[in-house]
Amino acid sequence: MIQAHTQWPCVVKGQCKAGLGRMRVRAMSLIAVVAVCGLASSATAEPSAPPAGAATPACAGSTGARHVASPDWRDQVIYFAMTDRFDDGDPSNNDQGKGEFAAAGADAFNGGDLKGLTRRLDYIRGLGATALWITPPVANQWTSPDGRLAGYHGYWARHLMQVDAHLGTLDDYRTLASALHCRGMYLVQDIVVNHMGDYFSYGPEWTARDPAAGYRPHRHTAPSAQPTQAPFDLNDPTRSADRAAAIYHWTPDVSDFRDPRQKYTFQMSGLDDLNTGNPRVRAALRESYAYWIREVGVDAFRVDTAFYVPPDFYADFLHARDRTHPGIDRVARATGRDAFHVFGEGFGIDARGDTRYARQIEAYMHDAKGQPLMPGMLNFPLYGALNQVIARGKPPVELAERIESTLRLHPRAHWMPTFLDNHDVDRFLAAGSTAALQQGLLALMTLPGIPVIYYGTEQGFRVQRAAMFKAGFESGGHDRFDTGSALYRYLQSATALRRSHRVLSRGTPRILFANDAQAGALVWEMRLGEERVVVALNTSERITFASVASGLPAGTVLDGLHAIEGTAPALHVDVGGRVALQLPARAGYVWRAVPPAAARPAPAVPNPVTLASLRYDGGTGIVQVAGRAPPNAHLKVVLDGEIGRAESVQADGAGRWHARLATSHLIDPAQRHEVVAVEESSGTFFASKPMTFRARPAWRLALDHADPAGDDRGPRGAYGYPEDPTWGPHRQMDLRRVRAWHAAGALKVELTMHRLTQFWQPANGFDHAAFTLFIELPDQASGATVMPLQNAEVPAGMRWHYRLRAHGWSNALYTADGATATVEGTPTTPGARIETDAKRHTITFTLPADALGRPQTLTGARLYVATWDYDGGYRALQRAPSRYAISGGDGQGDPLVMDDTPVLELR
């Protein structure tokens, strides 16, 4: 007999129905049921995902249960799909006749719907996902007030208790939920409590004392001029009843997110801000979202823009004791869901050493007294560190520190969804390589948190909201549901690894090694009880070496479980508890630690290699090291793990050795650099204990260019800033000065702007401007002249070899390889370090020599800088002025350049 907490489909007349609760079944009976319908269990053993593309026979075309027991969310893998861009299962609902539909339009409804999701569930399940998160399915405002944009994404609500006509019907939604449950999967619905659609705005006459002053209703939006659900239809402050109801805050757009009053009560991007402190609004929101749990069978909520509603709202939203409209958690429990998950969006990315946003995120999970609020929040700080280290080549210690701070600040870190990208940020592959993406996915599967896979990741998507189906936006002209693609297959193996080893979803990590200087090795252990698993990544494009203090007993065997490429080599822990790792470029390995008593004993050989002294000369940039080894032994002296560039030395007859290392390419005085001596004997590496130092680079001023004030008007002087007041007088794209320095192949560029702003709390310290830097190296052929995505070419016969694109939330470096008018080039690492000085209005980009291929010199290099803005792509250019687009030109052909420099040469 075996016992399991389980929700499992059983076959009745060829259909799947689900039972709830604790069930005691015979082993053979349970196996038979699993074979027919599949199982989602909180017991130790979990089912494997089916082979790629395999159907679940008993669920195909049938209906499962509406209500099922909650899973342990720590063990789930979520697939996030933007419904309109996923699959078109019913073309008859695509065009509702209001000008909102364009099959391949970037800003229009494309045709994806609930039936499309339902018919692709086996594709999603075959990937290894156990839950599906969809964008809001509620009835939306279909067009923006100016008619240029459509609400295809679902975040402009018109009625919170109706399914949008473009997506299908209530029955279609019920069918999706039941089909998921029949497969042992779960449904996550995106919800919005902060705002409705954009049905009114305010002009400059607005005053907080008179909500009617400056009020501008948007009477011509489709399909209605106001929300169609009570009480949200009370949106006209010129009517006394609406004003008294106070359903809305009656405010203009946020101009400064640092102001708490604006953050919590003003409109975001013109969306009508709900008065979530009003008991009537709170009750209406509880009623609206409880509807989807009861009527459809939703298993979890993701809360959009959660940061812009005060934290105490969520205690009421989840736990209110109102008999008529109880809290969401109470409603869910009444349907048998005792762990209904709710996780919020708190868009905030902390720089290294900073935990400001992480602490804000935690304030939405627990209040100041430690009482629970939301059970989870999206882990944006971890997202930022994963991208900086794995995609952009920052030192792995940055990710290591973020992992440690996550555990320190968040008691429920395992319930926080983790991700590499989503619908609001650049795709990972916009700046990272496919090899880096595989490493990022492996990290998600082996660290605390609920991994989220953004749709299209498994097909190598680079465009933020591209469609998976042939007719949709940026689909490439064909369906993208290839279960044989390399990334789909890799994700299958990575999700299977997580499912097979509970230590990966419930264990606690401990950092064992992290390169502090540059891309290289990151090693951590996951531990659950006595079970230990070790994970190693090499984020460098070169072979790297690491001598890792494992904390494991001597003789422990590391038995390979998983490798991104090839097989993880079996390793042994030496008598000092260290493991010598030589990791191929972009390697990712996972091992199970087998204790000495359970493993074949390994000979305990003492380490014969020592590093006794290190001396750094800041004037010459030379490091002198010395130590001992077996007489006449051949060694490699490794700096920062780069064993492929190690200095080869030989010990003398007495076992003494010494070496000199050039370090002029090291540019950051804050970084700690590590030297280790390595000797290989009969296939076994012996490594000394490391020694460290810090470099002191000598920067030389190479150019100083003063740029005219007020020339931020485009090539012909006709462009205008967006009308939103956070642009305009601030002129964030007006270059005033450019200075550059170089040091042994490294480059530092400082831009002085008319003004530097941070209205939207940007991760990189500036917003409302994007900078594209083109770099031509001296004495190098090839290169490119095109300015990708900007409708222009670099001037003065320049041919660029490297291109840096950065705005408030992105930082991407490309080589010219493959660059075209529509392709940015080939992503490369490491990326630039970005520093801002708000008082001086300066932004400084520092590129290490490795980022530029370690050139011998930068004297004679050429630099060209162009400004614009960026919002999921270079900001739109159109003829007429508007709130968020740049005006005065044709975005299809006119250059997307607001201000620029001449081509500048470095001395």
The tokens of 272 are what?
A: 């009508």
Q: Which amino acid is at 836?
A: T
Instruction: Tell me: pLDDT of 40 over 90.
Output: no
Omega within 30 of 0 (cis) for the link into 631: no
Q: Could you give the C-alpha distances from 91 to 38, 166, 347, 372, 674, in angstroms and in order?
A: 31, 9, 35, 44, 60
Q: Which amino acid is at 226?
A: Q
pLDDT number for residue 488: 98
pLDDT number for residue 313: 98
Q: Which residues pair with 486 in a beta bridge?
A: none
Over residues 489-502, the pLDDT tens digits come to: 999 999 999 999 99
Instruction: Tell me: pLDDT of 117 over 70.
Output: yes
Classify residue 840 by burial, with Cβ atoms within 10 Å: 0-12, 13-18, 19+. exposed
State pTM to two decimals.
0.88
Indicate the pairing of strand 746-753 with strand 826-827: unpaired
Q: Which amino acid is at 72?
A: D
Percent of the chain's residues with pLDDT above 90: 85
The tokens of 829 are what?
A: 């690492």
393: left (phi over 0), alpha (psi -120 to 50) or beta: left
| Cβ-contact 854, 784 below 8 angstroms | no
Q: Which residues pair with 678 in a beta bridge?
A: 636, 687
Q: Could you give the C-alpha distances from 632 to 50, 646, 649, 651, 652, in angstroms and in order?
A: 57, 18, 10, 5, 5
Q: Residue 359 is inside which H or E element, if any?
A: helix 356-362
Residue 255's pLDDT band (boundaries 50, 70, 90)? confident
Residues 6+ apart with CB under 8 A from 622: 616, 660, 661, 662, 663
Over residues 668-713, the pLDDT tens digits come to: 888 899 999 999 876 678 899 999 999 988 899 999 999 999 999 9
Cα 898 from Cα 790, distance rounded (Å):
11
Phi, psi of 242 (to 5 degrees): -65, -40
Q: Could you give the C-alpha distances from 244 to 158, 217, 249, 264, 876, in angstroms and in order?
A: 21, 18, 11, 20, 39
Least confident of 63-72, 599-608, 858-867: 599-608
Structure-token match 């998950």, residue found: 341
Instruction: Tell me: pLDDT of 26 over 80.
Output: no
Q: Which residues pair with 103 in a beta bridge?
A: none
Average pLDDT over residues 80-102: 98
Residue 604's pLDDT band (boundaries 50, 70, 90)? low
Alpha helices for 46-169 (secondary structure H): 83-86, 114-119, 121-127
The tokens of 465 are what?
A: 């909201």
Instruction: Tell me: pLDDT of 15 over 70.
Output: no
Q: Could you give the C-alpha distances from 193 to 154, 266, 379, 539, in angstroms and in order?
A: 13, 14, 20, 39
Average pLDDT over residues 883-898: 95
Q: Higher model confidence: residue 719 or residue 725?
A: 719
User: How many other C-beta atoms can be found within 10 angstroms of the C-beta atom of residue 484?
Assistant: 8
Q: Could you give the C-alpha distances from 266 to 23, 250, 261, 438, in angstroms and in order?
A: 51, 8, 7, 40
The tokens of 99 are what?
A: 């000008």
Over residues 287-321, the pLDDT tens digits come to: 999 999 999 999 999 999 999 999 999 999 999 99
Q: Which amino acid is at 164?
A: D
DSSP 331: H
**End-to-end Cα spacing for the chain:** 80
pLDDT number for residue 33: 32
pLDDT number for residue 63: 61
pLDDT number for residue 744: 85
Percent of the chain's residues with pLDDT above 70: 92
pLDDT number for residue 64: 72
pLDDT number for residue 681: 74
Measured at the CA of 368, the angle between CA 366 and CA 369, to 5 degrees, comes to 85
Average pLDDT over residues 793-818: 96
The tokens of 637 are what?
A: 């002296």
pLDDT number for residue 600: 61
Instruction: Tell me: pLDDT of 836 over 90.
Output: yes
Residues 6+ apart with CB under 8 A from 334: none
Q: Residue 863 is inside which H or E element, if any?
A: strand 862-868
Over residues 177-226, the pLDDT tens digits come to: 999 999 999 999 999 999 999 999 999 999 999 999 999 999 999 999 99
Among 394, 334, 343, smallest CA distance to 364 is for: 343
Can you point out the beta strands (E) in 350-483?
A: 376-377, 417-418, 450-454
pLDDT number for residue 618: 80
pLDDT number for residue 60: 56
Q: Residue 878 is inside which H or E element, if any?
A: strand 877-878
| Cβ-contact 272, 246 below 8 angstroms | no
Cα 320 from Cα 285, distance rounded (Å):
12
The tokens of 729 are what?
A: 């007088």
Q: Could you give the C-alpha distances from 403 to 397, 398, 400, 440, 441, in angstroms and in order?
A: 10, 9, 5, 14, 15
Q: Which residues pair with 143 in a beta bridge?
A: 150
Tally helices (H) and strands (E) across the chain. 16, 48
pLDDT number for residue 205: 96
